[in-house]
Structure 1
Amino acid sequence: MTDAILYRLEPTDLAGHRCTVTLTIPEPDPAGQRVSLPAWIPGSYMIRDFARQIERIEARSGGRRVVLDKLDKHTWQAAPCRGPLQITYVVYAWDLSVRAAHLDETHGFFNGTSVFLRVAGQEDKPCLLELVPPRRQDWKVYTSLPEAPGHPARAPRHGFGMYQAPDYDALVDHPIEMGTPQVASFEAHGARHELVFTGNVPNLDLERLSDDIRKICEKQIAFFEPRTRRAPFLDSTDRYVFMTMVTGDGYGGLEHRASTALMTSRADLPVHGRPEQSDGYRNFLGLVSHEYFHTWNVKRIKPAAFAPYDLERENHTRLLWLFEGFTSYYDDLFVLRAGVITRQDYLRTLAKTISAVHSAPGRFKQSVAESSFDAWTRYYRQDENSPNAIVSYYTKGSLVALGLDLLLRQESRGRHSLDDVMRLLWTRYGRNFYRGAPEGVPEDAMPGLIREATGIDVGEFLRRYVYGREDVPLEALLARQGYRLTWKTPSPLPSLGVKTARQGEEVRLATVYEHGAAHRAGLSAHDVLVAIDGVRVQHGNLDKLLARYRPGDVVQVHAFRRDELRCFTLKLEAPAETECVITPASEPFPAR
């Protein structure tokens, strides 16, 4: 690999959260080599401008300084030079999230899009990555990036040294965790999986985690490859790595081709000697299942707009309802199919999703196809009015998947389901994506693909519930399967028509729902409630105050808007039936 692009990453200042990266380009462009850092990371559809964290950067060739001009917010161009070009830069890494880089005295976590410059015109060349240890000698390395075979500095398993990637896209799609985490491993259909937990987690039950997650992984591998049961990442690496950063209240995940970065709350993880299954642990298993399903759906089955990614600007697609919504449908369903949660737990989780979608008026203003397209500017940039203006392609997309699954089963009398659609997408677009045949799903292809997989025309369904703004008719679809969907009020108290948030001991209006009581009275998001009918409002007593009234009563509400005290006359409204309940039938939810 004499023509390989060489990267060297060294954690140089743990207390200052800085790492130093040295990029060596054996054959730079004779006209002047351009390099750039991605503006976003796949899976998180928002421009993040990672280059803003580069503190110092310089270039040399043959021991001499080379002029390096900054062309825009994330692009530099080196002056023409002979021989290898070496660019050294310092990255500030203090973003404790799944999206970027974080470094301190306890660990280092690095997404490639945050630390590795792209060499323009040489993206297809192989890459070598040398990981250099900090002064601490007890750290180990956890990544799905393969060690460089045959290289004299090849890294040992979990060690510092040389790793390799076939191209730049692969280099930035294998995040790196280094430190002293708690680790477990298991095999699922012959494929090695590693669980890596970073953070202070006393009495963590790694055995239970391994057993539960193994069952989920095995179910998903067998789902896409029922004959061979071969995990897709084995074409490029010998392992899959779940990297979990544990905090007091974190939650989230970001998928990669052979690993995932997760964040979870300490309280959501299982404890030795406590066999009970908490809601938080079920949520964590759903998150694990979601990100693992992405190994197929979005990392290999991709929208055409992502084949390949353009990491310098937004990549718009109207298909995120398929890639995120369908994944959100299958995540908890596979936890159920794996036997890790009960049918009752699954139905309760499904009901919460339905309740969440139906509580937001924005679903009547934006379709999930529009939500997908606007992810960059609206879904990932939400504000106090977002519930009134947008719909989530995750949650409503999962209801579209549920509705399609039920419809396909019913129309085919049980011969076909959404499973057939996913397997067709896998064989047509996913299985060979990294084998030299990269092709993405065209924007308008889904009606034809679903008909090809099942023989059923769902064009009208997609027109109304994906490209239109109607609610998926789940009550009728579930009824035909023997399930009863009903609605109830979550509280008997009269309603202000708002969502509140705690601000110290004060109550702040986080969202004022359109056409609700507070909206009609003139209250706005960010107003701080002071009093209702002269009685002070504080965190913890709002429900007690409202319990003294009935729907239709008129009250005087005092609130601060910024530093100005205002008074509003508000007519309390009846509590809405916003809580969904699904009554199970005698047969289990579709588990085929």
Structure 2
Amino acid sequence: MGLNAKAENVANIAFEVSFTEPQAHYADVKMTIDNINKNDILVKMPVWAPGSYLIREFSKNVESFKASSGVEKISKNTWKINTKGKKSVTINYRVYCFEVSVRTSFIDDSHAFLSPTGIFMYVDGRLAEPATVSINPFKGWDKVSTGLEKTDGKSFTYYAKNFDWLFDSPIEVGTQDVFDFDVVGVKYEVAMVGGGNYDKERLKTDISKIIEKETDIFGENPNKRYVFIVHNYLSGGGGLEHLNSTVLGATRDGYQNEKIYKSFLGLVAHEHFHLWNVKRLRPIALGPFNYDEENYTTNLWIAEGFTAYYDNLITERAKLINTDEYLDMIQQDINAIENSQGNKVQSLSDASFDAWIKYYRPNENSGNTTVSYYNKGSLIACMLDLAIIKKSEGKQSLDDAMRYAYNEFYKKKNRGYTDAEMKLVFEKYTGENLDTFYADYINGTKSLDFNKYLGYAGLTLVDRTPITKQPYLGITVSKSNKNEIAFVSRNSSAWDSGLNVNDQVLAINGQRTTDVLKDVANLDINKDAEFVVGRDGILKTIIVKFKPSTSKNMVIQEVEKPTDAQKTVLEKWLSL
């Protein structure tokens, strides 16, 4: 999918980005539109960034919008420009960029990160046209890192074959530390922003292992060039995938800490895996994009959940983590989902569809009403993987299903898949009718029978929940105030008794408290407790009747005498 932009690749839409006041966090954008054949055109700013399913209203950061012809703003993100008798129009606007994340633009006096859907506008009806972007770096800035291809003979000028490519190509401008390496016939570039105690050679070696293992799954790497933009912070994380690049957040001085470093490699594996799963093999709703509104799909559990499954599995295959560490990650996901109150309320398909209003807009009750399509989707992928390995007696795995779907929908049909089509793919490789599986686990909220699938590999879940006589309240407290309730778990003692989020717990059984959870741990589980709370300036007395916690601590263990068939599944699954 790489594109060598030649000098003759002239675009009718061109951008020029300058930084006259980077210390004040502004980008100055000049947009030139040629080949106009209408009396008016609509110029729009996208409202969301692909890969991050939330309406972010990027136009809120636009100011000083001016055009060389008459202009009228007609909606939150749309400007109507009178172009009667004109073949060309020039637009100038400024964008305020001061939000630190992998999906939003940030500019200061040290660098500029341009997240394109929040910087570049488009002409309604002309998304399929190519565009050029010229960057004028601020004084002292000498590098530009982006997946866009350079145009011949022009410094810091880049070409996008259409606006989907432009909007999927973040741009880093500054003095970043850049190093590159070649693997599987692809040139990889890493742009390190913000310093850090990283070891370049170790990163090259370990990232190469990840790339090789992921490429093996799909049988090809669809790019000629790929860019990692890594923003290093005091404490950082998160990532966002793009067609031939990704943006990662990392902890600046965490690269020498093995736990933090392995977590970073897992993030690399996750976002890089997306270049196949999501960016090419994708739900049918996710491309071509509508940049004006939500793009709904019930399949984020595949797009994100399967990627969350493979990120850890790939690092295990690459021997960047050991088998025990990997099984511990599976174990953590099982406990997180099965102990989640929201898992009993929201299905995976609903979690995917409602990501726009729930996952990216959590509130104090989200833990009781929602489930993560990342964690639970990862467990579904694991269950299907084990089922495929068992059915094929170790000859196939979920890899084969993913490769088949990639070839069938992306390469042959050049479109996304429907929910029904992916179900057929999974049925083809598991050899099972998955109607009940889908009804229970995808479209329903039935508890996962994970023991069944682990059993295929000679593993079992053992309940290691500690026996305790400590009372369970069922709250979490504010990080800044151990007396302020931040979350109340559904059906817990606190929930049933009427304790609320934002309540300030002042006293328990007549004794002043400065640490609610610590003082509750010293109470008698068989006796009621009197809580005095402050709620909106009013004192309330609440009697709490304690009940046991329903949380479990499940541990994965090997069965005592695994069969040869179980050994075959385990060896295939974990590449032993």
TM-score class, shorter: over 0.9
Q: CA deviation at 1:416?
A: 3.0
Unaligned runs of 5+ in 1: 61-65, 156-160
Q: Secondary structure at the match of 1:502?
A: coil
Shift of 1:562: 2.8
In 2: Cα distance, 1:206 partner to 1:52 partner: 39
Structure 1, residues 383-439: CA drift from partner, whole Å, max 9, x if none?
Answer: 11111111111111111111111222223333332112101111112346xxxx631
Is residue 500 of structure 1 aligned with residue 477 of structure 2?
Answer: yes
Alpha-carbon deviation of 1:490? 6.7
Deviation at 1:25, TM superposition (A): 0.8
What whole-Å deviation, never above 9, does each CA across 1:331-373 have from its counterpart, x for those lacking one?
Answer: 1011101110001111111111111112211111111001111
1:534-549 alignment runs, 5 A limit: 534-538=510-514, 541-549=515-523
In structure 2, what residue type is equivalent to 1:266?
R
Aligned 1:1-12 pairs, distance under 5 A: 1-12=9-20
Answering whether residue 258 of structure 2 is matched by residue 277 of structure 1, we say yes
> CA contact under 8 A between 2:25 and 2:108: conserved in structure 1?
yes
Q: Is the 8 A contact 2:334 2:379 kept in 1?
A: yes
Say if 2:567 is the partner of 1:572: no
The aligned residue for residue 213 of structure 1 is 207
Q: Find out whether 1:401 has 2:376 as its counterpart.
A: no
* Corresponding letter in the other structure for 1:43: G
- Verify the 8 A CA contact 1:335 1:341 in the aligned structure 2: yes
What displacement does 1:544 show?
A: 3.8
Q: Pick closer, same or farther for the CA change 1:387–1:106 going to 2, 3 Å.
A: same
Moved more, 353-362 or 456-465: 456-465
Alignment of 1:508-519 (within 5 A): 508-519=484-495
The within-5 A match list for 1:317-356 is 317-356=297-336
Tell me whether 1:254 sits opposite 2:240 in the alignment.
yes
State the 1:534 CA deviation. 2.9
1: CA distance between counterparts of 2:10 and 2:142? 30
Name the CA distance, whole Å, in 2 between partners of 1:407 and 1:6: 51
- The residue that corresponds to 2:226 in the other structure is 240
Counterparts of 1:59-70 in structure 2, within 5 Å, are 59-60=67-68, 66-70=69-73
Counterparts of 1:29 and 1:78, CA distance in 2? 13
Task: Give the whole-Å Cα distance in 1 for the aligned partners of 2:127 and 2:106.
Answer: 25
Paired position in structure 2 for 1:74: 77
1:192 equivalenced with 2:163 (yes/no): no
Q: Give the counterpart letter for 2:131 in structure 1.
A: C
SS in 2 for 1:304: coil
Q: Match of 1:400, SS?
A: helix
Counterpart for residue 148 of structure 1: 151
CA deviation string 1:246-290 (max 9, x = no partner): 2223321110001111112335x323xxxx622x22222211111
Distance (whole Å) between structure 2 residues aligned to residue 283 and residue 375 of structure 1: 24
Match of 1:357 in 2: 337
In the TM superposition, residue 454 of structure 1 has moved relative to its aligned partner by 4.9
Aligned CA distance change for structure 1 residues 171 and 373 (closer, same or farther; 3 Å)? same
Is 1:467 equivalent to 2:451 in the alignment?
no
| 1:512-527 correspondence to structure 2 within 5 Å | 512-527=488-503
1:118 aligns with 2:122: yes
Does structure 1 conserve the Cα–Cα contact (< 8 Å) formed by 2:384 and 2:426? no
Aligned match of 2:175 in 177, 180, 196?
A: 180
Q: Distance in 2 between matches of 1:183 and 1:351?
A: 37
Provide the secondary structure at the position in 1 that maps to 2:100.
Answer: coil
Matched residue, 2:457: 481
Change (3 A) 1:246 1:531: farther
Q: Deviations over 1:58-81 (max 9, x none)?
A: 111xxxxx1111110001110024
2:542 corresponds to 1:582: no
> How far did 1:559 drift?
2.1
Rounded to whole Å, the distance in 1 between the matches of 2:233 and 2:198 is 14
Give the match for residue 282 of structure 2: 302
SS in 1 for 2:240: strand
Counterpart-to-counterpart distance in 1, 2:255 and 2:371: 33
Q: Shift of the alpha carbon at 1:491?
A: 8.6
CA distance in 1, matches of 2:12, 2:169: 18
Size of the alignment, in residue pairs?
556
Letter paired with 1:233: N
Pairwise CA distance, 1:132: 0.8
What letter corresponds to residue 528 of structure 1 in structure 2? Q
Other-structure match for 2:562: none
The separation in 2 between residues aligned to 1:430 and 1:294, in whole angstroms, is 14
1:88 to 65, 89, 92: 92
The two structures, once aligned, show a CA RMSD in angstroms of 1.9
Structure 2 equivalent of residue 63 of structure 1: none
SS in 1 for 2:138: coil
Deviation of the 1:514 alpha carbon:
1.1
Give TM-score scaled by structure 1 length.
Answer: 0.90
Closer, same or farther: CA 482–455 of 1 in aligned 2, 3 Å: closer
2:149–2:159 Cα contact (<8 Å) kept: yes
Over 3 Å counting, the alpha-carbon distance change for 1:547 and 1:574 in structure 2 is: same
Q: Per the alignment, do residues 31 and 365 of structure 1 end up closer, same or farther by CA in structure 2, a change over 3 Å counting?
A: same
- 2:102 alignment partner AA: V
Q: Distance in 1 between matches of 2:13 and 2:414?
A: 23
Deviations 1:30-71 (Å, cap 9, x if unpaired)?
Answer: 2211110101011110101101100111111xxxxx111111
Contact 1:195 1:210 in 2 (8 A): no
The alignment partner of 2:265 has SS state of helix
Paired residue for 2:295?
A: 315
CA contact (8 A) 2:405 2:422 kept: no
SS at match of 1:499: strand
Q: Which of these residues, 36, 42, 45, is aligned with residue 34 of structure 1?
A: 42
Is the CA contact 1:489–1:576 (under 8 Å) kept in the aligned structure 2?
no
* Most deviating of 177-186 and 48-57: 177-186
Residue 12 to residue 579, structure 1, CA distance change in 2 (3 Å): farther
Instruction: Give, in angstroms, the shift of residue 20 of structure 1.
Output: 0.7
User: C-alpha displacement at 1:3, in angstroms?
Assistant: 4.3
Which whole-Å CA distance do the structure 1 matches of 2:176 and 2:527 have between them? 57
Contact 1:497–1:517 (CA<8 Å) still a contact in 2? Answer: yes
State the secondary structure of the residue aligned to 1:28.
coil
Query: After the TM superposition, which parts of structure 1 deviate over 6 Å for at least 4 consecutive aligned residues?
Result: none
Partner of 2:102: 98
Q: Find the aligned partners of 1:3 and 1:233 in 2 and give their Cα distance.
A: 23
Distance (whole Å) between structure 1 residues aligned to residue 485 and residue 463 of structure 2: 25
For residues 374 and 263 of structure 2, what CA distance do their matches in structure 1 show? 15
382, 392, 412: which is aligned to 1:412? 392
1:447 to 423, 440, 464: 423
**Counterpart residue number, 1:46:** 54
Paired with 1:3 and 1:289, the residues of 2 have a C-alpha distance of 35
Residue aligned with 1:306, SS: coil
Q: Partners in 2 of 1:536 and 1:491 — Cα distance? A: 29
**Overall identity of the aligned pairs, in %:** 34
The one-letter code matched in structure 2 to 1:572 is F
* Residue pair 1:352, 1:579 contacting (<8 A) in 2 also: no
TM-score normalized by the length of structure 2:
0.92
Long gaps (5+) in structure 2: 1-8, 560-566
